[in-house]
Amino acid sequence: MPIYEYHCEDCNQDFECLVFGNEKPDCPSCNSTKIGRLMSAFGFVSKGSDGQTVSSSASGCSGCAATGCSSCGH
CATH number at residue 33: 2.20.28
CA 43 to chain centre: 12
- Of the chain, the end-to-end C-alpha distance in Å amounts to 26
Residues 8-37 have pLDDT tens digits of 999 999 999 998 888 889 999 999 999 999
DSSP three-state, residue 60: helix
Give me the pLDDT at residue 58, please: 43
Q: What is the pTM of this model?
A: 0.54
- Structural domain includes residue 24: yes
Number of structural domains (the chain) is: 1
CA distances in angstroms from 43 to 21, 40, 50, listed in the order given: 24, 10, 21
From 51, 70, 45, select the one nearest 60 (Cα to Cα). Answer: 70
Residue 30 lies in a domain: yes
Please, which residues have CB within 8 angstroms of residue 26's CB and are 6 or more apart in sequence? 32, 33, 35
